[in-house]
Amino acid sequence: MRIGIDFDNTIAGYDGLFATLAEERGLFQQAPVGKRDLRDALRQRPEGELTWRRLQAEAYGGRMGDAELQDGVAQFIQLCRQSGVAVSIVSHKTRHANFASDGTDLRRAATNWMAAHGFFDATGLQLNRDDVHFEDTRAAKVAKIAQLNCRWFIDDLEEVFAEPGFPSFARAVLYDPHGADIAARDGARDGATASSDNLLRCRHWDEIGGHVFGPQQ
């Protein structure tokens, strides 16, 4: 069995980095923490969309090294290793940012970040570089997920699962760390809830591990 995982905001977390970058640029004295809140606050300003895209280009580019490994990801991948489950990372990531690029190769920045976090170490997460796929479009991403025969796919963006071509045989897991309100609204005891026939919504990687492998001690 193979499990596919998105990269940005699913494996690599940018909440702290976005807040730091916004404060460094003097956009806020104290920036909202959380990508969505920060984006929404910026978009209310003149040229806010452009400002937001510039911040993204920096976060995914030159400052990628300051992104954080999402809590529980490493344990989940190790659980896959112990269970003989193959792991692929499938990311919609162009080589260069479309806006205000400083020329950084975004794919190389992500690969270097993974290397720095032990993704390719024999004593670490034991991925091969071939297990990492960067695609130019969302359509190409879901085609890759289908081609790899991923039985599960974990992503922070619900739109990926709705993209035409997303394979019906892949179980969709929405990684939604800020989704507490939704979980509370749906009355889910464990924070994960099926919001459609084939979508699991999880706030933490431990919950995802529980769904895939059963409860861990």
Q: Applying CB under 5 A, does 15 fall inside the site for Mg ion?
A: no
Does position 6 interact with Mg ion (CB under 5 A)? The reply is: yes
Q: Does 176 bind Mg ion (CB under 5 A)?
A: no
Q: Which structure tokens are listed for 80?
A: 């896959």
**Please, which residue, 131 or 214, has the CB nearer to Mg ion?**
131
Is 58 among the residues that bind Mg ion (CB under 5 A)?
no
Task: Collapse the DSSP code of 12 into the 3-class scheme (helix H, G, I; strand E, B; otherwise coil) and give the result.
Answer: strand
Residue 175: beta bridge partners? 202
Q: Is 207 a binder of Mg ion (CB under 5 A)?
A: no
Does position 156 interact with Mg ion (CB under 5 A)? The reply is yes
* Helix (H) and strand (E) counts in the chain: 9, 9
8 contacts Mg ion (rule: CB under 5 A): yes
Q: Which residue has the tokens 């190769």?
A: 105
Q: Residue 9 Cβ, how far from Mg ion at the closest point, in Å? A: 4
What is the pairing mode between strands 86-92 and 132-135? parallel
Residues 6+ apart with CB under 8 A from 34: 15, 178
Confirm or reject binding of residue 9 to Mg ion (CB under 5 A): yes
77-106: which residues touch Mg ion (CB under 5 A)? none
Q: State the minimum distance, in angstroms, from the CB of residue 103 to Mg ion.
A: 23
Spell out the residues 6+ positions from residue 62 whose beta carbon is closer than 8 angstroms to its own: 102, 104, 109
Stretch in the footprint of Mg ion (CB under 5 A) among 8-16, 44-52, 103-111, 189-197: 8-16
Q: Which residues bind Mg ion (CB under 5 A)?
A: 6, 8-9, 156
